[in-house]
Amino acid sequence: MINDLRDFIAACERHGLLHRIDARVDWYLELSHIATLNEDAGGPALLFEHVRDSDLPVLSSAFTTSQRMAVCLEEDPETTICELARKWKTRLADGAGIAPRVVKEAPVLRNAAVGAKVDLLKFPSPHFYPNDGGRYLGTAHYLVCMDPDSGWINLGTYRMQLQGRNAVTVMIARGKDAEIIYRKYQARGEKMPVAVVIGCDPLHFLVSSTHVGSGVSEYDIIGALRGRPVEVFESDLTGLKLPASAEVILEGHLDLDDLRQEGPLGEFTGYYSSAKGADGVGMEPTITIERVLHRDDPIFWVSTIGKPVNDCHMIQAINRSAMLWHELETRRIPGISGVYVLPESCGWFWAVVSIKQMYPGHSNQVGLTAIAHYGLKGVILVDDDIPADDLGRVWWALSVRFEPKRSIQVIDRGRASALDPSLDSSNRYIMSKVILDACIPFEWETKPREVTLDPAMLHRVAQRWSELGLPRTSRIDRLLDSDDACDARPERSRATRSTA
Ligand SMILES: Cc1cc2nc3c(=O)[nH]c(=O)nc-3n(C[C@H](O)[C@H](O)[C@H](O)COP(=O)(O)O)c2cc1C
């Protein structure tokens, strides 16, 4: 079972998916450059054990392959992103969230530094990219805050720049839950009590970067996904419920009157950007840290963000695929057989939805519902004979089932990401969107006749496969396993890039 970051690290090590680096490395560029080269090569998660100026080891690249995301979700490491997303949405659909359980004792309460003893410079916050505006303490973490009216507790991952011994700035884009909540404190003339959690059950990080819906607590969603409640303690400083097994928790108040220069940061789009300025620099609110809590021998955690594909994009690919799928099903639209937000599209901008069409206009209904999903720029619709994540076959559908005039639908205005460098810097909150419908029109009386192989001959050939001296494949195994001799389903397209 995975209940904290240490369980996850141990599980990755058991599967040969984590590498420890004993050599001393610098937090200035060196750590991020080692991590990026390793990520680009599809390498393991890294645990840097000796980083300049700090006693804390640093985990990076935790989710750069689907295998480690599967480990986090307590699934077989060979499970694909699409399959993990299916399991995620099924666990959500199976029942309401599971509320956290309040405990009195918490490993993270063992060590505390308060007031003048707070020193954030002790943490190995990396300076990731050459033009970054400084060191980033928060890239694989989350912010906890509470709605002052309803008591709803929100977890959200929003980048945090180090601003000295006891302060960080946080970049929360417009419309995010923490913004909706901090506006309420602002209206009351109060600072917002917050906590920053670094290092925890890694599922917390996956879910804190998911839009689960305003008014819904990510703690309940984590509980539903794990099938057991998150253990939390009640902070006597901020009144927040905080995860008992976190590695590090920073507590303080967010002050909207204390705005400081933030950024740039090499962002998940592959460009330097910020929510406030095209050059990647903006004025953002400051959190003054009043107390640091940590476990014995705490472990720090970072994500390289930057160009796709790294763990930021993989995380968003899985959580956005799952939530889009969940949303389509919650709207009671039938026939959704697969949803895949591509990691290569920054895990954000493009989705493929595979549909078993049942009535005229079905694919269009799916397209219009899906495209409303926050941040999506394009949705590609395919029939259910094409797996949403088989990009080779998606291209085939775009070639032979798609006719531009009939199949393209442009939506003039929709919610955009403030960090999207394809948008003019004066307005990055609104963009146009597109639906590419590569499904065969349901209403056509005469449909194109597809080339398929003869099922009986396939079965016969499969039985002779060893005699032919050809290597066994999963498709031959499938054909040999099927009694009815008619499994003519094609193999996955060879053009598909493996994100495992
Ligand atoms: C590694 C990582 C970094 C992120 N950084 C930011 C950020 O700086 N600002 C932001 O608004 N969203 C950021 N996001 C996206 C949010 O985490 C995501 O939209 C999430 O749904 C926000 O929580 P909320 O829905 O409770 O507002 C980041 C996501 C990831 C995976």
Residue 247 alpha carbon to ligand 1 centre in Å: 20
- Token digits of residue 165: 């011994």
Q: What is the pTM of this model?
A: 0.95
* CA 156 to ligand 1 center in whole angstroms: 6
d(CA 2, CA 226): 9
Q: Among 386, 404, 437, give the residue marking a domain's end.
A: 437
Sign of the torsion formed by the C-alpha atoms of 420, 421, 425 and 427: negative
In a domain, 309, yes or no: no
Using DSSP's 3-state secondary structure scheme, residue 211 falls into: coil
The segments of the chain whose pLDDT lies below 50 read: 496-500
User: What residues line ligand 1, using a CB cutoff of 6 Å?
Assistant: 139, 154, 156-159, 171-173, 176-178, 209-211, 303, 305, 312, 315-316
Q: Count structural domains, the chain.
A: 3
Do residues 224 and 354 both lie within one domain?
no
Asked whether the beta carbons of 462 and 476 are under 8 A apart, the reply is yes
Residue 377 lies in a domain: yes
| 433 and 464 assigned to the same domain | no
Which pLDDT score is estimated for 499? 47
Angle at 265 between CA 31 and CA 59, to 5 degrees: 30
* 394: CATH: 3.40.1670.10
Kindly give the number of the ligand 1 atom that is closest to the alpha carbon of 210: 21
- Residue 317 Cα to ligand 1 middle (Å): 13
- Asked whether residue 55 falls in the same domain as residue 137, the answer is yes
Pocket test for ligand 1, best of 209, 220, 262, 349 (most atoms within 8 A of CB): 209
**Six-digit token string for 446:** 């005469």
Tell me, yes or no, whether 232 and 277 share the same domain: yes
In a domain, 443, yes or no: no
pLDDT reported for residue 500: 41
DSSP 87: H
Q: Are 53 and 24 in contact (CB under 8 A)?
A: no
Q: 284, 301, 318: which is the final residue of a domain? A: 301
User: Are the beta carbons of 393 and 387 closer than 8 angstroms?
Assistant: yes
Q: Is residue 488 part of a domain?
A: yes
- Does residue 387 fall inside a structural domain? yes
Same domain assignment for residues 354 and 392: yes
307 in a structural domain? no
Domain shared by 63 and 194, yes or no: yes
Residue 123 included in any domain: yes
Q: Indicate which atom in ligand 1 lies nearest the CA of residue 172.
A: 11
20 and 122 co-located in one domain: yes
Instruction: Say yes or no: 370 and 419 in one domain.
Output: yes
Distance (angstroms) between ligand 1 centre and the Cα of 33 equals: 23
Question: Which pLDDT does position 122 carry in this prediction?
Answer: 97
The domain boundary residue, chosen from 301, 316, 346: 301
Residues 398 and 490 in one domain: no
Say whether 321 sits in a helix, a strand or coil.
helix
The span from the CA of 309 to the CA of 336, in Å, is 26
- Same-domain check for residues 232 and 339: no
- Structural domain range at position 476: 453-500
Give a yes or no: residue 321 inside a domain: no
As given in the structure block, the two tokens for residue 334 are 């039938």
CATH of the domain at 257: 2.30.110.10
Between helix 474-481 and helix 455-463 the angle, nearest 10°, is 110
CA dihedral 196, 5, 103, 204 (to 10 degrees): 60
Same domain for 424 and 474, yes or no, is no
Nearest to 214 by CA among 172, 170, 180: 180
pLDDT at 426: 79
For residues 263 and 364, state if they share a domain. Answer: no
Top mutation candidate among 59, 63, 147, 159 for ligand 1, by most atoms within 8 Å of CB: 159
Give 51's contacts (C-beta < 8 A, 6+ positions apart).
Answer: 24, 25, 26, 27, 31, 57, 58, 124
